[in-house]
Homo-oligomer: A and B are copies of this chain.
Amino acid sequence: MTITIIPVRGIPEVREGDELAHLIADAAAAEGTPLADGDCVVVTQKVVSKVEGRVVALEADDPAARRTLVESESRRVLRRRGELLITETAHGWVCANAGIDLSNVEHGHAALLPIDADRSARHVRDALRARAGVETAVVISDTFGRAWRTGLADVAIGVSGLAAVVDLRGQRDTLGRELQVTEVAVADEVAGAAELVMGKATGVPAAIVRGLDPAWFREATARELVRTPSEDLFR
């Protein structure tokens, strides 16, 4: 029941059209930590967006252009403060500036969120199976702010082969009482755990999370992590 989180180092700067799964599987093998069945591979949104060509021209010092881009990537603006917009993306994610981001992207450019990160995750998973012969789960992670709490944390925006949310309904606590906490956002906790070895400045865009509960490996989508606006008391 011990979990190990292994950074995948040595992945080169990626370009549009690269097959991420090959880069990850090969780098992990070269590092002496080859992928194994039952691993969950966490990949940052940034490299997924790059290989999928979700990079657009944007001058960092042009706030009007940036605002226009953020709005075009959003379904709804929830809050504005100065240059910061908290918006709801087409996927339903609530985050700063529609998840558009300038770090680790070439100057004069910005990375947009993948169009469908669940599909991205499925693609990486299938390609890992083909390349390395392993049955893994895949989580696409991104770094979001939160209401009420300072700091940012990595969460899941795409999953394949791993429960996004684990429902404990019907289970009982150690004293035999039915659990009050019923839904655990496992994929978000996995994304956050992976961030601990990836850092922001160190060029490690993927990590292996090894030893997760086998019961969590099932078909799922990260869309399950979107709280629908009608059930959300804070949007």
A interface residue numbers (CB < 8 A to B): 1-7, 13, 78-79, 81, 86, 93-94, 101-107, 143, 146-155, 164-166, 168, 171-175, 177, 179-181, 183-186, 188-190, 192-193, 195-197, 200-203, 212-213, 224-227, 232-235
Contacts and interface: CB of A to CB of B under 8 A. Distances in A.
Q: How many copies does the complex hold?
A: 2
Contacts of A188: 149, 151, 153, 192
A53 B190 CA distance: 33
Given A3-B193, A173-B201, A181-B200, 9 more contacts: A3-B5, A79-B233, A103-B173, A146-B147, A146-B185, A147-B233, A150-B226, A151-B225, A193-B196
Contacts of A225: 149-151
B147 A148 contact: yes
Contacts of A3: 4-5, 193, 196-197
